[in-house]
Amino acid sequence: MKVLAIVVGNNKYFEGCELDNAINDAQGIADIFSRLGYEVLFWNDINTDGIIEILEQYEKRINEFDASIFYFAGHGFQVDGENYLASVDCQIANPTKAHCQRTCIRLTEIMDIFRKASTMVNIAIIDACRKGFERGGSSEFSPIHAPKGALIAFSTSENSGAKDYGYKNHSIYTGSLLKFIGVERLSVEELFKRVRKTVFALTGGAQTTWEHTSLVGDFYFNTGQLVHSITIPYSEVVVKDKMFSEANDQFGIVMNLKSYDWNIQNPAIDRFLSIPPSKIDKDQQFIIGRNILQAADYAFNATAFLDNLRENLRLYTVEGENHLLNGILYEIYFNSNGDFRSENLKKHNLPKVLKLRNVPEFKKSFEFITKVLEPYRDQLFYIPGDNVSHIDVAVLATNEVKRSKTGEEFPYQAVDTITVQGKDITLPISKYDVWGTNESNLKQVISHYLSAPEELIQINSGVELKKMTFKIPEETSTW
């Protein structure tokens, strides 16, 4: 699908109305759209002449494409029921209708271009109504409806303001948008739903995004042309390594590691260790790291490599970058299609890898996996690069006594709930081999379930957990 993207960001408004992040936001959007293969027309700090150029170019070019996207970051407001996107010539503090008609893009002008176009899909993303302080009155947007085949997304709902800061060097809205826009096969409706949840959470409910859609079909920003995250600096054949073939195998090592035959895998590890690291490019190191991890299920040489991981990896660290470790970390969380493993993470050797998270020379690798996992944060309890001192686990339990037929008493602790980060994990934990055991064993089990270092798990309970059971129906009890 051919997509045209019109991207506009304005910072340099009149004194007192300047913005800090609108151009950063627009540039971030333009960069990701370019990597998605869209044709991007980019403007920043547009004046009145720029408005004419944008509208003329948009109307002239749109019919060459299957879809179009209009993105604006800057000041926006309504006057007399009309929604305006302000150029830097606009007097933001006291706009009049006549002044706005000459110094702003009217949102209805964009909608008119959508209506007349032959494109199947048109999307307008408006990160406006943004200032470093609360605004009222004319800073709000009027209701607007998308024409057929279009979607309009606002950074804030009706009668509300949006912030120019809050997400690193981006507004909260665009920062959240950039977090999810590279996720493969994520529908546009689901994308904006995730953005809305993120913005709502980050602002404590003060800002709620809003969309109106008349789309009649599906649209995905990334249908596979961009591999998951814009933060992955490796070629597609090593990220989606099911595509990897002998033609890509520089030393004949990777295909042997993929063989699932330890008689072939073990010599491949030896061969790899015999090659000077400087001779192996970053893509090859990345995919070898991935396959050392998967080979550790079969080949004792791969297991031995992981058992002495810190020393083995040191040879491959160059200027703080370790592509071998990046590959190992990536393999834990992503499958051969480059898809997030969700509930099927490769946890077997995870504790060995997580021991390196505080080693300074491997810092960049954990920063790498943190960025790659950012779109999946709501599916994880722990991300290795996060600066977390502990993970609180609330265990609600009571002391109980079980009496035998002879009258002998057996004290135990009946666990009612186990909660982490507001989520009840009692049922999945009860399925582990934890019945009749103590807090130490529970800690190990929770560490495994959360895919987090055991030393970070902090169990908080009102009773001492010496011999646990769970409050589930008696017929399912196993002790």
* pLDDT tens digits along 440-478: 999 999 999 999 999 999 999 999 999 999 986 544 444
Task: Tell me which of 29 and 141 has the higher pLDDT.
Answer: 29
Confirm whether 222 is domain-assigned: no
Number of domains in the chain: 3
Q: With contact defined as beta carbons under 8 Å apart, do 231 and 368 qualify?
A: yes
pLDDT at 226: 63
Confirm whether 327 is domain-assigned: yes
pLDDT at 94: 74
* Strands 82-86 and 166-167, bridge-based pairing: unpaired
Q: Are 421 and 458 members of one domain?
A: yes
Q: Are 120 and 209 members of one domain?
A: yes
- Residue 306 has which token pair? 């992981």
- Residue 18 has which token pair? 């300047």
pLDDT at 118: 95
Give the count of beta carbons closer than 10 Å to the beta carbon of residue 344. 9
pLDDT at 137: 33
pLDDT at 164: 46
Q: Are 56 and 102 members of one domain?
A: yes
Q: With contact defined as beta carbons under 8 Å apart, do 203 and 196 qualify?
A: no
* Residue numbers of the domain that contains 63: 3-214
Confirm whether 231 is domain-assigned: no
Q: Are 449 and 333 members of one domain?
A: no
Residues 6+ apart with CB under 8 A from 351: 447, 453, 454
The percent of residues in the chain predicted with pLDDT above 90, rounded, is 64
Q: What is the mean pLDDT of residues 129-153?
A: 61
pLDDT at 132: 32
Q: Are 186 and 81 members of one domain?
A: yes
379, 403, 432 - which closes a domain? 379
* pLDDT tens digits along 30-61: 999 988 889 999 999 999 999 999 999 999 99
pLDDT at 378: 82
Residues 6+ apart with CB under 8 A from 330: 239, 286, 289, 290, 369, 372
Report the amino acid identity of residue 168: K
pLDDT band at 128 (very low <50, low <70, confident <90, very high): confident
In angstroms, the Cα distances linking 390 to 45, 324, 371, 457 are 45, 28, 21, 6
Q: What is the CATH number of the domain that holds 71?
A: 3.40.50.1460
Confirm whether 459 is domain-assigned: yes
Q: Are 349 and 252 members of one domain?
A: yes
* pLDDT tens digits along 370-395: 989 987 888 899 999 888 899 999 99
Q: What is the mean pLDDT of residues 397-416?
A: 91
Confirm whether 328 is domain-assigned: yes
357, 379, 401 - which closes a domain? 379
Closest CA to 415 of 444, 438, 448, 392: 438
Q: Are 268 and 168 members of one domain?
A: no
pLDDT at 135: 28
Contacts 24+ apart (CB under 8 A), 48-56: 48/87, 48/89, 48/102, 48/103, 50/87, 51/87, 51/103, 51/104, 51/105, 54/6, 54/8, 54/105, 55/105, 55/109, 55/113
Does the pTM surpass 0.85? The reply is no
Q: Are 164 and 35 members of one domain?
A: yes
Q: Are 168 and 270 members of one domain?
A: no
Is the pLDDT at 240 greater than 90, yes or no?
no
Q: What is the mean pLDDT of residues 358-366?
A: 96
Is the pLDDT at 365 greater than 70, yes or no?
yes
pLDDT at 141: 56
Q: With contact defined as beta carbons under 8 Å apart, do 63 and 117 qualify?
A: yes
Q: What is the mean pLDDT of residues 268-281?
A: 95
Report the amino acid identity of residue 380: L
pLDDT at 131: 39
Confirm whether 229 is domain-assigned: no
Half-sphere exposure of 359 (CA within 13 A, CB side): 18
- Residue 25 has which token pair? 């936001």
Confirm whether 477 is domain-assigned: no
167, 183, 214 - which closes a domain? 214
Q: How are the residues of the chain apportioned to helix, strand and coil, as percentages rounded to the nearest 5?
A: 40, 20, 40
Q: What is the mean pLDDT of residues 168-194?
A: 89
Q: Are 297 and 156 members of one domain?
A: no
User: Quick one: 62 exposed, middle or buried, by C-beta within 10 A (0-12, 13-18, 19+)?
Assistant: buried
Q: Are 250 and 363 members of one domain?
A: yes
Q: What is the mean pLDDT of the chain?
A: 88
Neighbouring-strand partners of residue 393: 420, 459
Which of 15-19, 258-262, 351-355, 422-426 shows the lowest mean pLDDT across its residues? Answer: 15-19
Q: What is the mean pLDDT of residues 288-317?
A: 95
pLDDT at 143: 62
Q: Are 268 and 295 members of one domain?
A: yes
Confirm whether 386 is domain-assigned: no
Contacts 24+ apart (CB under 8 A), 244-249: 244/287
* pLDDT tens digits along 420-442: 999 999 999 999 988 888 999 99
